[in-house]
Amino acid sequence: MLYLAYREGFRYTAVFGLVFTLGCSDEEQRYDSLDGSSDLSLNHQFTITDSDDTMLSHIATVHVTSDGHILLPDYQQGHIHEFDQQGNLLNTFIESGSGPGEIDDFGGVILTPDDELGIYDFGNRRISYYERTGSDWEFQYSTVVEENLRWFYPAGDSWIINKMSGRMDPEKDSIQVDRLSIDGDLVEEGALEFKADQGIFIEDENGMVFLSMSPPFLAVSHIEFADDYFVYAYTDDLSFTFYDLGSLEPTDSFSVNLPPVPLSEETRQEYLHEQADLAMPSGVDAESQISDQLPDEKTVMKYFTYDLKQEKIWAQVYYKDETPWLVLDRSGSLLYKTHLDYDDYDLRMVHDGRIYVGDEDDRGLPMLKVYEYEQ
């Protein structure tokens, strides 16, 4: 069964033969299946591959500028490569080091719709901020941070951040969001709290956690930043909440509740087999501990990304024996269901009718495939 609830006025929308009841009441409308939803076709545009000019070592994230240029940060080489809309290399920037605007160890990259670039530097423990002027990226300032960050994003004259914990804590039930000034001062601690990621924890003979793991079928918190807002979801269901970036207050939300898919015995055994070679202290029965903590059901959603230009959510879900992608508009209406050859994080970005996919060539070298999609 498929349920949908949307909290912002009352209206009824017909989508591909399915009627979604959207309203601010607690009533939910049931549907038998997602079968019959419209599909998409992908048209390959070009592929960016490793070359003497780029020497790509890994493609972790993809960012698209306001005029469609593609930024590929190479975390290992310590550079950012800029390509035009046809995949031609235009520029390589960012120097390694500890001076102004230099990066010692890439820990994260963000790009706003206004072409403001932020890079978190693990090595120098700071966020470096750049603005685009013509074809150049000019360093503006750095914000020193005392702890490692999981993610960060500019919000006016401040940063909102989530600190990275060294190891998952079985007692931790929330993720805290803080606000920093551009000078690095703590402006607001605990400005927001979200659900903590689920995990599996291995304890030693003294009951101390020495190893944690996050199988793909456990629920996690996920955020996608947009212009002056961001989208939050916890993957145990298909609920999405939109937050104002300035006030950090929720503005609207909707929920598409799919039935959970059982975790099959085959999947359980495959996961246990993958962990069989883990080095464990003497006397620790890791297999039993992992087996006892595996859920009976998979999380509903594997992953989602957000197309800011078209305001569409792309969510990969567990549905029956498939993992299709559902494309939803900001009101929660189902636009189409599609199957891609690529899984969760392989889909690096969806932006204004284009899909950016990370892949490897026959030599194991990274490449980025760019597609346009149409219904």
pLDDT at 34: 66
Helix (H) or strand (E) holding 257: strand 250-257
Helix, coil or strand: residue 306: strand
Alpha carbons 214 and 212: distance in angstroms, whole number:
7
The CA-atom distances, in angstroms, between 132 and each of 39, 79, 117, 210, 352 are 38, 16, 8, 44, 21
**pLDDT tens for each residue of the chain, 375 residues long:** 333 333 333 222 333 333 333 333 333 434 445 665 667 888 999 999 988 777 788 888 999 999 999 999 998 889 999 999 999 999 999 999 999 999 999 999 999 999 999 999 999 999 999 999 988 999 999 999 988 999 999 998 999 999 976 556 777 788 999 999 999 999 999 999 999 999 999 998 888 888 889 898 999 999 999 989 999 999 999 999 999 999 999 999 998 878 889 999 999 999 998 887 777 777 888 899 999 999 999 999 999 999 999 999 999 999 888 899 999 998 888 888 888 877 666 899 999 999 999 988 888 889 999 999 876
- DSSP 8-state code for residue 166: S
Contact 17, 342 (CB under 8 A): no
- What is the structure's pLDDT at 98? 94
Residue 258: count of CB within 10 angstroms of its CB: 21
Token pair in block for residue 165: 């914990």
Query: Regarding beta strands 366-374 and 41-49, do their DSSP bridges make them parallel or antiparallel, or are they unpaired?
Result: antiparallel
| Rounded alpha-carbon distances, angstroms, from residue 246 to 139, 150, 194, 251 | 24, 20, 17, 12
Q: What pLDDT sits at residue 354? A: 95
**How many angstroms separate the CA atoms of 81 and 70, rounded?**
8
DSSP class of residue 197 equals P
Q: What is the pLDDT of residue 77?
A: 86
Query: Would you say 368 and 358 are in contact if contact means Cβ atoms under 8 Å apart?
Result: yes
Interacting residues of 256 by C-beta distance below 8 A, sequence separation 6+: 2, 3, 4, 238, 239, 326, 328, 332, 334
Nearest to 82 by CA among 90, 356, 137: 90
Give the span between the Cα atoms of 170 and 212, in whole angstroms: 9
Residue entry with tokens 């306001």: 66
For the question of whether the overall pTM of this predicted structure is more than 0.85, the answer is: yes
Residue 5 has a pLDDT of 38
* Whether 56 contacts 355, CB under 8 Å: no
Task: Provide the token pair at 59.
Answer: 């493609």
Q: From the DSSP assignment, how many helices (H) and strands (E) are in the chain? A: 2, 29
Query: Which residues lie across from 1 on neighbouring strands?
Result: none
Instruction: Report whether 22 contacts 10 (CB < 8 A).
Output: yes
CA nearest to 120, candidates 136, 138, 98, 142: 142
**Residue 348: which residues within 8 A CB-CB, separation 6 or more?**
59, 61, 62, 356, 357, 358, 368
